[in-house]
Amino acid sequence: MSASFELYVYSIEESFEDCFGLRENLFGYYSTRARWAPASADLLAQLPAPCRRRIVQRLSWYRWQLENHARLLPERARRMAEDGAAAEFINLPASPYA
């Protein structure tokens, strides 16, 4: 498992899709481990330090992107409204299917 997971980790680019996938894989691993084998060894904690660092770097990039975008969205909307953008482009529904 270690070698193939390491290859996966090093293939992850700084993109929303890749980093979201990494986050979901970690979530799946830890939730399954907690439910089905809580006393088992944490295989991800046993990865080599450079690989764990890469995981932290990618997840940190992802977090920064999400927080930065969430912070900028209202500011961009305010500026667009001031510049005359139509209300439908400003007051966006939370779901694209609303």
Statement: residue 98 has pLDDT above 80? no
Report CA Rg, the chain.
Answer: 19
In this structure, which amino acid lies at residue 26? Answer: L
State the pLDDT at residue 95. 85
State the pLDDT at residue 16. 94
Residue 7 near residue 49, CB atoms below 8 Å = no
State the pLDDT at residue 92. 85
Query: Considering the chain, what is the average pLDDT of its residues?
Result: 93
Residues 67, 87: Cα–Cα separation, whole Å: 24
Statement: residue 1 has pLDDT above 70? no
Q: How confident is the model at residue 39 (pLDDT cuts 50, 70, 90)?
A: very high
45-82 confidence digits (pLDDT tens): 999 999 999 999 999 999 999 999 888 888 999 999 99
pTM score of the predicted model? 0.78
